[in-house]
Amino acid sequence: MKKAIAVLISLIFVFLLCSCSKEPIPDETTPSDSSETITEATTEEMKTELLTTTKKNDKNNSSKSNVLQAGSGSAVLQDGKTYTGREPLPCVEFKVTDPENTRNLSTEKKGYGFGVAKDGKPNQVSVNNQKYFDEHNFNALCLDTVSSEKVLYLTFDCGYENGYTAKILDTLKEKNVPAAFFCTLPQVKQYPELISRMINEGHIVGNHSVKHPSFPSLTRTEMAQEIKGMDDYLRTNFGYSEPYFRFPMGEYSESALDLVGSLGYKSVFWSLAYSDWDLNNQKGADYAFNTVTARLHPGAVILLHAVSPDNSNALAQIIDYARENGYVFKSLRDYGN
């Protein structure tokens, strides 16, 4: 009897591990650059447990199908729940439109520029960026040009953990401010308690890819794999999925924008940021406060990096100042509503 029970438990465990298989099967005017762009540091953590795909496999698979089958390869927690306490979500198929790019959409790499806003107005570069996205029907946002309110969208990039995310979450909870955290898969795997807090406290956990590559250098199938690998893991281990994506290092192309939108994701850029990611050049909370508040403007999508101690120390003051000056913080979910 004991042997039979042991065999049954083993079969259940194998079933959970295999419930989501990871095998992939493939299916004008440009924004002006500005003098200020944002890049992100990479770490060894971000190079582990990664999805890899060769162009040879992409070519072979594309002749069979253009669908990425459901799959993450990671089992849920043993009690049948997830880190958030929710039920696991089923993995979904991603249809890769035009995997061979027969429409010849541009694959030229563009580094995102946004300009420095001042006097309560967005920089014209950001205005042009949003106009470009809208005119080309890309599902992308860098500046809310629709709302009549002085709305702000607070977003954080979380390529790796530096010990300040919990404090940021504490401040957001105290101030009742929603935010979006764009995370890579290694961070999600290593810090499930932080990711669970983000989700359970009402924030968005955005997709920042599996291994933080430059998307213009990938095939359309490889781009879809990067997004799907992250989505599968969140579904299986957190019972969560929301369609918001941020390009690693802000590097994109026409083909990449088209691909992300075709998967049902909104590409989220920004209209306000500063060089807060450089840990060797932190200038203090006062500098962070003065820099961010001087660049506030209606409709701003604010990009901050959670690795910055300056941001964590200045965040409460930034929120208070913005509200005192008539701004309202909203979730990306509210955009267009």
Q: Is 203 among the residues known to form the active site?
A: no
Q: Is 157 among the residues known to form the active site?
A: yes
Which tokens is 252 given?
A: 């994109």
Q: Which helix (H) or strand (E) holds 181?
A: strand 180-183
The residue type of 227 is I
Catalytic pick among 231, 297, 305, 310: 305
How far is CA 2 from each of CA 7, 8, 11, 119, 244, rounded to the nearest angstrom? 9, 10, 14, 74, 48
C-beta separation of 187 from 159 below 8 A? yes
Helices H / strands E in the chain, number of each: 10, 12
Catalytic pick among 58, 157, 232, 310: 157
What residues does 181 pair with on adjacent strands? Answer: 156, 205
Question: Which alpha helices (DSSP H) does the chain contain, by range?
Answer: 2-18, 55-62, 124-135, 165-175, 185-190, 192-200, 220-238, 254-262, 285-294, 309-324
User: 73 in the Ramachandran plot: left (φ > 0), alpha (ψ -120 to 50) or beta?
Assistant: left
Integer Rg of the chain from CA: 21
Positions annotated as catalytic residues are 157, 305
